[in-house]
Structure 1
Amino acid sequence: MPDNALRGKTILVTGGAKNLGGSISRDLAAAGAGVAVHYHSRSDKGLAEDTVAACIAAGGDAFAIEADLTSVAEIRRVLDSVIGRYGSLYATVNTAGLAKGHSMTEVTEDEYDAHFAINAKAAFFVMAETAKRIDDGGKILNFVSSLLAAYTGRYSVYAGSKAPVEHFTRALSKELAGRRVSVNNLAPGPMDTSFFWDAAAPGEDAFSKAQTPYGELTKVEDVVPWVRFLLTDGWWLNGQTVFLNGGFATR
């Protein structure tokens, strides 16, 4: 088995400034990794800087980088900046995403395009450009959604724009097999963060809780350990989507 310790490894976390991404950044830094904390817009700069400070205080190294990942040129700039700073890239953890909850009859063309630009196009090119630069034995981990296994309304565009990432993951895991690079997805259930609350309809939290045997939303702390596992001892998992939701949905 290869050496899977994260100390001294370089990891890019897209959407790494806040919510789940922020917790992942801090946890990986605590394991000794150098973490590139990507954030999307100027409004998140302060949160990104706070996360970088927490990463350094936890014992790792980190820096923040702003970029619009719907631009392939920007994706390339981010990855080249990471390698320029650290000299290599061990893993990319792609948490960036967009979610709005509307019925299909209310979805605008702009909303549709924005979801597919962030959840599908950006994910595709983050994976593809990472694959060109990643170390042999590295890891690519995407976040999708347990709604891919659920029978529900209101999230047609969100779930629909996440669905292609499963196919991208399977294809890339085959293409990188000779380099021992594993490519996987984590699919959390409805999570107790602003990402969920900003999209949820009134009462949706109670409905989501009722769908699990535990009667709870997924918590960030339920998910973060799986990231470290899949970047280390869980390397044998490849081309898969793990539905991490306490029983909210299965497939």
Structure 2
Amino acid sequence: MPQIALITGATSGIGEACAHQFASQGYRLILLARREERLQQIARDLTEQYGVATNILVADVRLKDQVEEALATLSGADREIDVLVNNAGLSQGLDPIDKGNTDDWDTMIDTNVKGLLYVSRVVSGWMVNRGKGHVINIGSIAAKEVYPNGNVYCATKHAVDALSKGMRIDLLPHGIKVTAIHPGMVETEFSLVRFKGDAGRAKKVYEGLEPLVAPDIADAVWYAASRPAHVNINDLVIMPSAQATGTIVNRK
């Protein structure tokens, strides 16, 4: 019986790359995201390329009822999830605290923190019942340091870091691994979302350097997931070689 990976935020960037990585290793996939057409296309691509079964769940992780209803459609063997990749996350805006948009704050907190919790609450319960599993949370360098105008986004990723530590303690007696992976600059839709579709501003973030790309992070996720049963990667920070901290980069 193939192992199962559930990946949130699976329609682009790191989530989509993780789907390809796990599919290439023969995993059955459960992909959760908001964009149904995109989910369907990715599922078709994965089946065509790797011959794996893929189940799609359409839900916005910010909405507890949607998450619970989507996950409730899984039954039997589909609940025997071996790896949960909590990837869904975003940043909105880049403003000082006194000028911050409170709607942006709500979106980041609801997605990055509450969304991760809503999914983890259900899936970790299934893992506890089985006595095994692995939760992999995608954080950020913003989980390790705070940079100018990053205030609320950094706070949400610090929360992901703290939650990962708390999960590791709580789930330890049940044989469940917990890993946090914290990327630096990765060129995905991230900056485009942060700057609300301003492609020019998003592109400038990566000018003059070679950033990470989504498959780099998917490779790290797979590394963590594929360790022997007695080995857990607790915490992994991954940066492009041109980046030293959240704000110090070498541009050419």
1:123 to 112, 116, 122: 116
1:142 to 137, 142, 149: 137
Q: Tell me the equivalent position of 1:17.
A: 11
Task: Confirm whether residue 183 of structure 1 aligns to residue 174 of structure 2.
Answer: no
- What is the CA deviation profile of residues 118-175 of structure 1, one whole-angstrom value per residue up to 9, with x for unaligned ones? 1111112322222111242310011111122345223222111121111111111111
The one-letter code sitting in structure 2 at the alignment partner of 1:189 is G
Unaligned runs of 5+ in 1: 1-6
Query: Is the deviation greater in 101-110 or in 160-169?
Result: 101-110
Shift in alpha-carbon separation, 1:92–1:82, aligned structure 2, 3 A: farther
Shift in alpha-carbon separation, 1:234–1:166, aligned structure 2, 3 A: farther
The one-letter code sitting in structure 2 at the alignment partner of 1:86 is D
2:99 to 97, 103, 106: 106
Percent of aligned pairs sharing the same letter: 17
The one-letter code sitting in structure 1 at the alignment partner of 2:118 is F
Shift in alpha-carbon separation, 1:36–1:124, aligned structure 2, 3 A: same
- Measured on the aligned residues, the alpha-carbon RMSD in Å equals 2.4
Distance 2:7 2:79 in 1: 17
Distance 2:174 2:77 in 1: 23
Which aligned pairs between 1:152-191 and structure 2 lie closer than 5 A? Answer: 152-191=147-186
TM-score (norm 1): 0.84
Distance 1:106 1:13 in 2: 34
Shift in alpha-carbon separation, 1:79–1:203, aligned structure 2, 3 A: closer
Shift in alpha-carbon separation, 1:87–1:127, aligned structure 2, 3 A: closer
Shift in alpha-carbon separation, 1:78–1:84, aligned structure 2, 3 A: farther
Task: Confirm whether residue 64 of structure 1 aligns to residue 41 of structure 2.
Answer: no
Decide whether the 8 Å contact of 1:144 with 1:162 is kept in 2. yes
Decide whether the 8 Å contact of 1:75 with 1:129 is kept in 2. no
Distance 1:91 1:128 in 2: 14
Which aligned pairs between 1:1-251 and structure 2 lie closer than 5 A? Answer: 8-40=2-34, 44-57=35-48, 58-84=50-76, 86-103=78-95, 104-134=97-127, 135-199=130-194, 215-233=209-227, 236-237=231-232, 240-247=234-241, 248-249=243-244
Distance 2:119 2:125 in 1: 10
Deviation at 1:209, TM superposition (A): 6.6
Shift in alpha-carbon separation, 1:109–1:231, aligned structure 2, 3 A: same
Query: Is the deviation greater in 215-224 or in 201-210?
Result: 201-210
Secondary structure at the residue paired with 1:233?
coil
Deviation at 1:218, TM superposition (A): 1.2
Distance 1:206 1:183 in 2: 34
Distance 1:199 1:34 in 2: 32
The one-letter code sitting in structure 1 at the alignment partner of 2:176 is V
Secondary structure at the residue paired with 1:182?
strand
Give aligned pairs, total.
237
Displaced runs of 4 or more, over 4 A: 200-210
